[in-house]
Structure 1
Amino acid sequence: MIPRILIASDTTGAQTKGLAAKLRRRGAAVATAPLAAIGFDTESLSGLSIPTFGGTLPDAVLVRSVAAGSFEAITRRLGVLHALNRLSVPVWNSAQAIERCVDKSMTTFLLRNAGVPTPSTFAVEGLETAQAVAARELERTPLVLKPLFGAQGRGIRLIRTLSDLPVEEEVDGVYYLQHYIPRAGPPFHDFRVFVCAGKAVAMMSRRGEGWITNVFQGGVPERIEGHDETELERLAIAATAAVGADFAGVDIVAAEDGALFVLEVNSMPAWSGLQSVAAVNIADIIAEALLASLAARSQPDEAARPYRLAAPANS
């Protein structure tokens, strides 16, 4: 059986093309389509309309991106991923994992609940409530304000006084506030660890003249020196498991005293910066792990099925 893999992506950039090439090299048939192109269709056998593989369901879906859109559009696209899961199509990463990682407040809740060290965090609605939190916490440390839904270091600001808090319109009324972790600098450093199928497969240090070190904000990828890679691996694997992701980019920062804290878990991570210093090909690692997971769960008659329905709950 030739595994049919759908890469859900809104772009055909180098990373998406690299994934497709590595999958094809391992014998898979690959198609790429944005989630926006997949519709719900109750007239079809599966209940979905997918413009690939002759309209039949893929054997697995690899999610590279979910494009920005209205609340309704994003809800519908994630609904497609939930439906695929209901149809027993493996989805890397699942809609649930993506939802958990996109919502930073849920990420930090799950990390703390799993015993993974993460900075003290408060997510509240309304400027008055945010001011009350800040008035209390600023006596201990500056705060980092992040967009609840955001990536690549955009929209992050340091809060040192109550007057630094923006008006509600700038943050859609939601204030995600996190204790700032003091660290040596400049230059400043943090870490990105890439986890796939329960293993830490690559990691880097990011160096920046400012305290925001994301590569998209000018951070420079470097090989890690002078830090305990074993502990970085342990934390990254635990963080990925906490959100239920098959693969993830985990951001970790070291405080001045050496203590490590997980800042974020990215369920749709980019890896161009990491690849520049990694000893392995990350796209190849993902392709190998996905196909291995399919092989482990495959059944002889699956290729002939035009659709697959999951068993009802509690059956």
Structure 2
Amino acid sequence: MAAEIVLFCERKKWHGRSISRAFRTRGIRPLTVSLASCGFSTETKTGLAIPGLGDHLPKGALVLFVPGGSFEQVTTYLGVLHGLRELGVTVWNDARAIERCVDKSTTTFFLQRAGIPTPWTWTGTSLEAALDIVRSKLAQGCKLVQKPLFGAQGEGLRLISALRDLALPEEVSGAYYLQEFIPPADGLHRDWRIFVSAGRVVASMIRHGAGWVTNIKQGARAEAAIPSLELADLALRAASCVGADYAGVDIIQDRSGAPLVLEVNSMPAWQGLQRVTRTRIADSIVAPFLDACLGRTEQASAPQGQEGA
């Protein structure tokens, strides 16, 4: 029998194994493939070349990982996801949401458009313009954070407190993304990671950084915490404005306590978050995903809120 569900991930990754277990507890064995092995073909009825599917069209596709590569390669991977959606397949998250989240400047655009508070941000391709921005903000007493436009997990971040700190164009692929640094009120660097799935908050934590970078992969410590209604609503609105079915939303609070959305992650890692909550995060993705593509499913084992967080 042809697979009704496709799981796009890397088989050996922790998150892929976790999601696969959540499917198996519901009696489903998805076809697990890497987008790197997929493409297009006029020989199939669907026009897609996905190993293991042939002419068959699945009912749903769950995306955990999009491989890196050249611009052409990544365009092909996202094109496959676009194709599945155009053919009527339920795709979580679909290529539109991934594109809006992977490109931090586009995320900022959608956050601002939706009226969601986010730090002052500027994106451009001119070194001269970036230097002018840095001079102006430093003169105002503000530091900046320079982020790779397509970066993740806290890699490649720079704190800009002087002109010399700004990266050269070749170090950032010619694109500058500069965001105002939000200093903590008490000198302790922390932010929120709120995990959203199918329009509800399912788990959350506060990340305490050893330095100003608060990503778990960069050594931050996770603490279970239940967000206020204001923070939860902000996370839900942020995920919705980029069209993400599930997402990890990063929120920082300024010195007055006002929340600001930093990023929306359409392919979030949750291994660190899973360590501090009893909520089964993989279940919180799989159960509503199956509801969306197969109709109502048995959810007796699915999590209900963030019990024990």
Do these two structures clear the TM 0.5 threshold for a shared fold by scoring above it? yes
Q: Deviations over 1:202-238 (max 9, x none)?
A: 000011120101000001110127xx52121111000
Aligned to 2:260: 261
User: Any unmatched runs of 5+ in structure 1?
Assistant: 299-315
User: How many residues are aligned here?
Assistant: 296
The residue type paired with residue 294 of structure 2 is A
Aligned to 2:8: 8
- Give the whole-Å Cα distance in 1 for the aligned partners of 2:47 and 2:118: 41
Trace 1:148-227 onto structure 2 (pairs within 5 A).
148-224=149-225
- Residues 186 and 11 (structure 1), Cα distance of their counterparts in 2 relative to 1, 3 Å cut: farther
Aligned to 1:233: 232
Q: Deviations over 1:125-181 (max 9, x none)?
A: 121110111122222311110000000000001111222112111111111000111
CA deviation after TM superposition for structure 1 residue 2, in Å: 9.6
Aligned to 1:285: 284
**In 2, are the aligned partners of 1:195 and 1:250 still within 8 Å (CA)?**
yes
- Give the whole-Å Cα distance in 1 for the aligned partners of 2:12 and 2:235: 28
Higher relative contact order, structure no. (Cα contacts within 8 Å, ≥ 6 residues apart): 1
CA deviation after TM superposition for structure 1 residue 11, in Å: 4.1
- Give the whole-Å Cα distance in 2 for the aligned partners of 1:289 and 1:218: 32
2:30 partner SS: strand
Aligned to 1:302: none
The residue type paired with residue 241 of structure 1 is S
State the TM-score, normalizing by the size of structure 2. Answer: 0.91
Higher alpha-carbon deviation: 20-29 or 195-204: 20-29
The residue type paired with residue 169 of structure 1 is E
Aligned to 1:145: 146
- Give the whole-Å Cα distance in 1 for the aligned partners of 2:78 and 2:150: 15
CA deviation after TM superposition for structure 1 residue 28, in Å: 2.2
Higher alpha-carbon deviation: 137-146 or 118-127: 137-146
**In 2, are the aligned partners of 1:2 and 1:29 still within 8 Å (CA)?**
no
Q: Deviations over 1:96-128 (max 9, x none)?
A: 100000000000110011011100100011211
CA deviation after TM superposition for structure 1 residue 186, in Å: 4.6
State the TM-score, normalizing by the size of structure 1. Answer: 0.90
CA deviation after TM superposition for structure 1 residue 27, in Å: 2.7
2:249 partner SS: strand
User: Any unmatched runs of 5+ in structure 2?
Assistant: 298-309
Identity of aligned residues (%): 49
Aligned to 2:52: 52
**In 1, are the aligned partners of 2:2 and 2:53 still within 8 Å (CA)?**
no
Task: Output the aligned Cα RMSD.
Answer: 1.8
Aligned to 1:85: 85
Please state if 1:28 is matched with 2:28.
Answer: yes
CA deviation after TM superposition for structure 1 residue 55, in Å: 4.9
- Give the whole-Å Cα distance in 1 for the aligned partners of 2:63 and 2:281: 15
